[in-house]
Structure 1
């Protein structure tokens, strides 16, 4: 709902600073937001004589305001526009700013007293209207000073206490009092600890460094400790959502809550505020001198390395199901025979699934569907038994809105894929604390592998350890010596996940065989479900063919041919099946009308009037000529003449062959893929040649082949992500058949 006084503030900005370079016009919508605060900040900078305006209320702005007006109140002479900026800021924060008339009236004064009280800084500034540059900085952001979004009153009390006690310190800035922990609030706690340790302004930096750690080791708390250090410890407990009193007294009830927290975080259970407990409360990785029972890494576990891990006290080893790269980290994925080595050493393995997703764009429902089925296939290939939990990685600093828009739909896709597979595997999530917590709360995972080593991630800073944590990644170490030397990420284990200590026989890399007929119904149902999840109804919708017909024509009827092509060209059947099925599902009445027109025109005029895609695999003449000519030159195919793409007769002849002959279409899918793998010489794609066809292509290579089949530009790239999920569904049943 629009606020008319906020709208008036916006009109003030736009009218007064219309001709000031650097003050951006704001939308006059009556709604609070960062655009208003940035514009008011720039306006204030202009009023104090700063030439280069910025959205940031930084040290230069702070110094300029302090030099001009060390104390701001009704008792000094201020320019009207500066008063209007203060009044506008109050309205944008939800307080009464007066009439935005440039007069420091009683309404404005009262609201300044109110906002200071909400900030918790009245003892420092007094109850009147006096503020300074630091308070003004706090007024020109979107921080709230009352509880919002179900904020905790206890956390708000801590926030107000921190502001009131430390606002006088040079590098401590007023934090929100909204009842929620956050990056700024957590950093303020580190400043508070450093100030109480006696660090001077300019030395205290909000970093959990060696000096801070040494100081905390000297401040173990226990009953009957009292005072500021106990208050700090209680504040840290409160920010970690532990129900404690905030009274500066270390008593029996506080000791009980501490023991509960220590048991939860797998710390030594002492009931005291010792260093390990302080560290776990203040930074995500906690006490990095701890030795966890788990690890993960990108290096093959050999017998010597397994012995080194055992000697280090490690039981659980996280290893990757796949390596999406062909050039880096050659041992990242589980290697042949490695799981047996792990089992023989008495270790247990928990699998991790990770591809290239290092930003929000790599996460969505479609990618999640693909990831879920791909992980199942890979887990089966390696021999992981039913009931194993696979940890799906979110290895980037996902902001909260990106968790909502990208990560949660991604895990819904994973969940749907795992469910369609029969829920033989459990779902875990690897990522920052906020990601893990929100994915679990949405019901998409059952345990978390927390990337707490990335302490600077916004999703770790200010968030408590997830309730369902299984592994807590805290530090990178190198252990062992000689051929047992290995670098690992050391993880604390909670016992919620124990990996697997024995494994089925790995399926290995085998040539494809004919599909087992007993699985065809299940395969057709799975393919149909996947396509429906993308918005393609099984009844065909506006397309020409229903799902069953496409499945029959591109999978069942030509299975012998597809198997033969797969074996001949060392290419997975799923690549051929995916491209053929996908294209047939996309045939619509407009396509068919275009085919009729092409045939009629050629029969009448001898002209090939339009290079429209045709046949069940929707191939154009130019593509077919290029692919088959490449195949003839490379010796992939024989028995056809080299065609001239500039001649209508040549183009029409191969186009008509594709129109009439399904076996030719299916074969051409394979021939086109071979052309694409070769870099499409003479074609419309300048992508480089790929590795020669092989049965163990990486996910990135599979994606690229599927993309190249459609073309060098959008929508080929986005469509290939959808095709990739379909590929993994196809591959699921091919792998079952070849491993019977």
Structure 2
């Protein structure tokens, strides 16, 4: 198409060639007139080349332009193809190519229903093409059934034309807003008349927002019912009429920005005076940031004691996570995984309860085609990390309508916090509100006065996410564990080495090196283990102790046992395939078979992980579905994850510890204040039951003590 555009510019005498079919190209064509069978060399120097450009464009659009000849002649086949194109566009079928039709021919727009397009939207698009083709401001829009930025801009232009707005430009600005607000409400019985299309344009706007009203130019009771549904979904005044507020929400993402929302988000501390001002302004929930941006001087995170002030004032709160997130290059799977860990660490520190939704910010205008390659992977990383932490928190997104819709469709977020205030973003123009929207940010305002004054983003509140009315309080005197100070690694390793010299169980044939080496291996996973401890509300040393011990005590017998399991499942899969299609000889089973082994960093049996998972699920500590331990496919799938993914393996450790604690009668788990005897019993149960397990618990308790000495000092 770009090549054809440049060729056309050359043929009409333009010297500054470009891929863009702009006003210069259109003016040159207008001077020539319509292109068709009667166009001669008197009109243009080389009409044969122009014909070939028309035919080339038709081919690119999927129309047969001249039966494959491309010989510079205009045939009846060419006329038929042009007529078919015009019919699809919705304009008069003259069989000749006007300048605007030529422009449409050389775009990448479609004029047939494609993809997720709908017939009702396409009907509006074809009507607009037919109605406004002769207007100087109008260029042919797609007729593909899809609402897009260009279609939205054409609709606003049509409204500006209808109302005689000076300086019409396709933007829903102050002049257009004022003109729309001055119009009487559209009510049942309102009709178009005398060449005016006010009602029909309102019906078009409804269809573009997926509310398929009639398209007759007469507003019916059925149309009013449809408007009622739209108004209720957007939290507008529900009156079933075409009023300014409804027009605005149909046309731009921030709708009527003067609406007073019941929610707010802000980068400033909510003091007692500010909380009172928010309550007086009708706010019920406020969004606050979990962290500051590294390297920034802006202190926007929740301050010490602030949550007590917010909650004490009767407000609820929802957490937002944003470091940078303001450029496309920031977003990746790895970044999402890392950010989720930081968010969990911060949220647990503030005491946010299980099931809280954290909104991860995409504070950049991402083009639609870039979302699958950047934003989707980022949120896949966020979700993978959250699964590691037992789905302690739900994942939400702050971003444009398109970002939120694509993440919702990919089942990566629970709720959307829509950046509707950025109405000029490409991700908001031509996109409707996502079905799971919780908050819709429409303007920045100041609430209160004096010491109570606070600048907020004014958010419409749907009630889908009510925010949190309380947070967890830690046991008296208890503090969550924090990241390890790596400058103390050598000291920790030395102490661990000294303790391990005292153990009486086997230390022969260990394959992972000395205790000093294994301490380093455990600390490589410190971020994960820290977050696991905070997510589960248990001491970090519990996870460190069994992970260290099992990794240190690995011998050559362990990978040998793993190899037997792998060969067993290779056989079982081959047998299953053969039984489904029994051609040839059945596969031969291995000499030694086993469907399970203790495997991975913390040496966990698949059956143990399944048991612990189902226990945690039953306690409401994790979400998901029950795993069937009697199905070898399930056992094999879990075993492979335990064997091949250290993060997955370590993430199973808290579940095994807590299920074990419950199994030996230690109630109220998980918690931070287990007694010494309880800690020893929990560690013993990790290894099983009986005297051998008891001995295991005593020895691993020594490892716990070494780790806990350092952890306790760091948490203060």
TM range (shorter): 0.5 to 0.7
Q: Is the 8 A contact 1:74 1:129 kept in 2?
A: no
What is residue 285 of structure 2 aligned with on the other side?
316
Residue 555 of structure 1 pairs with residue 516 of structure 2: no
Please give the secondary structure, in 1, of the residue aligned with 2:407: helix
Cα separation, 1, equivalents of 2:452 and 2:479: 27
| Alpha-carbon distance, 1:254 to partner | 0.9
Please give the secondary structure, in 2, of the residue aligned with 1:111: helix
Please give the secondary structure, in 2, of the residue aligned with 1:319: strand
What is residue 432 of structure 1 aligned with on the other side?
400
Cα 1:427/1:63, change in 2 over 3 Å = same
Which of 138, 150, 168 aligns to 1:184? It is: 150
1:606-647 C-alpha deviation (Å, 9 max, x unpaired): xxxxxxxxxxxxxxxxxxxxxxxxxxxxxxxxxxxxxxxxxx
| Alpha-carbon distance, 1:505 to partner | 4.2
Q: How does 1:145-224 map to 2 (within 5 A)?
A: 145-199=111-165, 203-217=167-181, 218-224=183-189
What is residue 113 of structure 1 aligned with on the other side?
83
Cα separation, 2, equivalents of 1:284 and 1:558: 43
1:515-547 C-alpha deviation (Å, 9 max, x unpaired): 9xxxxxxxxxxxxxxxxxxxxxxxxxxxx979x
| Alpha-carbon distance, 1:557 to partner | 12
Cα separation, 2, equivalents of 1:441 and 1:545: 45
1:266-322 C-alpha deviation (Å, 9 max, x unpaired): 001001111111110011110111000111121111112112211221111111111
Cα separation, 1, equivalents of 2:245 and 2:711: 49
Q: Is the 8 A contact 1:90 1:97 kept in 2?
A: yes
Please give the secondary structure, in 2, of the residue aligned with 1:121: coil
Q: Is the 8 A contact 2:480 2:715 kept in 1?
A: no
Cα separation, 2, equivalents of 1:454 and 1:54: 31
Please give the secondary structure, in 2, of the residue aligned with 1:131: coil
Residue 241 of structure 1 pairs with residue 210 of structure 2: yes
Cα 1:229/1:558, change in 2 over 3 Å = closer
Which of 372, 375, 387 aligns to 2:343? It is: 375
| Alpha-carbon distance, 1:357 to partner | 2.1
Q: Is the 8 A contact 2:165 2:175 kept in 1?
A: no
What is residue 323 of structure 2 aligned with on the other side?
355
Q: Is the 8 A contact 2:263 2:458 kept in 1?
A: yes
| Alpha-carbon distance, 1:83 to partner | 1.2
RMSD of aligned alpha carbons = 3.2
Cα 1:378/1:105, change in 2 over 3 Å = same
Cα separation, 2, equivalents of 1:454 and 1:184: 17
What is residue 480 of structure 1 aligned with on the other side?
448
Cα separation, 1, equivalents of 2:222 and 2:519: 69
1:664-689 C-alpha deviation (Å, 9 max, x unpaired): xxxxxxxxxxxxxxxxxxxxxxxxxx
Please give the secondary structure, in 1, of the residue aligned with 2:457: strand
| Alpha-carbon distance, 1:326 to partner | 3.3
Please give the secondary structure, in 2, of the residue aligned with 1:55: coil
Please give the secondary structure, in 2, of the residue aligned with 1:491: strand
Q: Is the 8 A contact 2:185 2:244 kept in 1?
A: yes
Q: How does 1:378-457 map to 2 (within 5 A)?
A: 378-457=346-425
Cα separation, 1, equivalents of 2:232 and 2:523: 57
Cα 1:508/1:452, change in 2 over 3 Å = farther
Deviates more, 1:343-352 or 1:506-515: 506-515
Cα 1:313/1:39, change in 2 over 3 Å = same
Q: How does 1:302-313 map to 2 (within 5 A)?
A: 302-313=271-282
What is residue 61 of structure 1 aligned with on the other side?
25
| Alpha-carbon distance, 1:501 to partner | 2.0
Q: Is the 8 A contact 1:382 1:508 kept in 2?
A: no
| Alpha-carbon distance, 1:401 to partner | 2.0
Cα 1:456/1:511, change in 2 over 3 Å = closer
Please give the secondary structure, in 1, of the residue aligned with 2:426: coil
What is residue 285 of structure 1 aligned with on the other side?
254
Cα 1:419/1:549, change in 2 over 3 Å = farther
Cα separation, 2, equivalents of 1:70 and 1:557: 73
| Alpha-carbon distance, 1:514 to partner | 10
Cα 1:346/1:557, change in 2 over 3 Å = closer
Cα separation, 1, equivalents of 2:518 and 2:190: 73
What is residue 16 of structure 2 aligned with on the other side?
52
Cα 1:366/1:549, change in 2 over 3 Å = farther
Cα separation, 2, equivalents of 1:485 and 1:133: 57
Cα 1:336/1:64, change in 2 over 3 Å = same
Cα separation, 2, equivalents of 1:225 and 1:173: 29
| Alpha-carbon distance, 1:736 to partner | 9.9
Cα 1:553/1:477, change in 2 over 3 Å = closer
Cα 1:44/1:240, change in 2 over 3 Å = same
Cα 1:344/1:82, change in 2 over 3 Å = same
The number of aligned residues is 503
Q: Is the 8 A contact 1:513 1:737 kept in 2?
A: no
Cα separation, 2, equivalents of 1:48 and 1:421: 65
| Alpha-carbon distance, 1:400 to partner | 1.9
Q: Is the 8 A contact 2:482 2:711 kept in 1?
A: no
Cα 1:737/1:153, change in 2 over 3 Å = farther
What is residue 87 of structure 1 aligned with on the other side?
55
What is residue 134 of structure 1 aligned with on the other side?
100
Cα separation, 2, equivalents of 1:558 and 1:142: 50
Q: Is the 8 A contact 1:181 1:239 kept in 2?
A: yes
Residue 72 of structure 1 pairs with residue 38 of structure 2: no
Q: TM-score, normalised by structure 2?
A: 0.66
Unmatched 5+ residue regions in structure 2?
487-510, 531-539, 552-706
What is residue 587 of structure 1 aligned with on the other side?
none
| Alpha-carbon distance, 1:205 to partner | 0.9
Cα separation, 1, equivalents of 2:179 and 2:157: 13
What is residue 468 of structure 1 aligned with on the other side?
436
Please give the secondary structure, in 2, of the residue aligned with 1:114: helix
What is residue 226 of structure 1 aligned with on the other side?
191
Q: TM-score, normalised by structure 1?
A: 0.64
Cα separation, 2, equivalents of 1:81 and 1:101: 9
Cα separation, 1, equivalents of 2:129 and 2:70: 28
| Alpha-carbon distance, 1:243 to partner | 2.4
Cα 1:302/1:460, change in 2 over 3 Å = same
Please give the secondary structure, in 2, of the residue aligned with 1:352: strand
